[in-house]
Amino acid sequence: MSAALADPNAARAHARSMDGIVVEAMPVLPPRADDLPAGVSSNDLLWEETIAGAGYASRILARGTRLRLIDLEGDACASLLLFNAATPTERLNIADTVKVQWDAYPSAGSLLLSDMGRVLASIEQDDAGTHDAFCGASSEASNRRHYGDGRNCGAHPNARDRLLLGAAKHGLGRRDVHPCINLFKGVRIAVDGAIVPELGPFAPGRALVLRAEMDLILVLANCPHVLDGRPWRITPLRATAWRGPVTDADDPIRNATPERRRAFLNTEDLYRR
């Protein structure tokens, strides 16, 4: 600490001199965006934030909220956890998400299912097409192997510990950091069972829109994919959320398959009063 900042009055003056400074990776308050979809009012905007490489974020999203994620520079990786906001013991179940829908590769129209057979969120739009429901989050050990250090306080923090920080803001702990889905970084399973990474870098600006089908706690970390063997590289991720209508009975995603329709019926039963 400098001698000047050791003086409380000088430290206060320095801190107050920072008022009004804006950097890219911080929440925009009040939220504002100039590229909302047609028909979405700025009055409905709930969240606008750019999450830096190695950063994390967490929010509570009401049922019907849309969340748009944009891979700004083509090398973001959004490791995502979802919880029922009212009962967080109900959370994203990746195994059920894959097997119930007979689809190992989430894309537009896919549902993210809970361990209770309900829909936490659906993928309303997706122009990325590279997502991973197999590998989960990087850990301190995996980052240590790749980069020499994976500590939360180090230069190469891992996704699992970043997710823990986000979950802790909602009273959740390490045992609540369950298997995640990785968005914008994908893998394919070869005929012989080998995992084939699809890690880019990709074209900048790829986007995905999630629709909250329940009141959710959402936690995400933007850290390199666990299989990414390149030198450390992770670019910013932009999050924009706005109010939207609850999914209705005629929704094409809801009615695309018998399995998806049943999952929505389970969800709607939870909200029946």
Whole-model pTM over 0.75: yes
Per-residue pLDDT of the chain (273 residues; tens, 9 = 90+): 566 667 888 888 888 888 777 777 788 888 999 999 999 999 999 999 999 999 999 999 999 999 999 999 999 999 999 999 999 999 999 999 999 999 999 999 999 999 999 999 999 999 999 999 999 999 999 999 999 998 988 899 999 999 999 999 999 999 999 999 999 999 999 999 999 999 999 999 999 999 999 999 999 999 999 999 899 999 999 999 999 999 999 999 999 999 999 999 999 999 987
pLDDT at res. 4? 62
**Residue in 88, 50, 44 with CA at minimum distance from that of residue 66:** 44
pLDDT at res. 5? 62
Which ranges of the chain does DSSP label H, i.e. alpha helix? 3-6, 8-17, 94-100, 140-147, 159-168, 258-270
DSSP string, 160-208: HHHHHHHHHTTT--GGG----EEES-EEEE-TTS-EEEE-----TTEEE
How does DSSP classify residue 264? H
How does DSSP classify residue 69? E
User: Tokens representing 135?
Assistant: 């590998």
Give burial (CB, 10 Å; 0-12/13-18/19+) of 207: middle
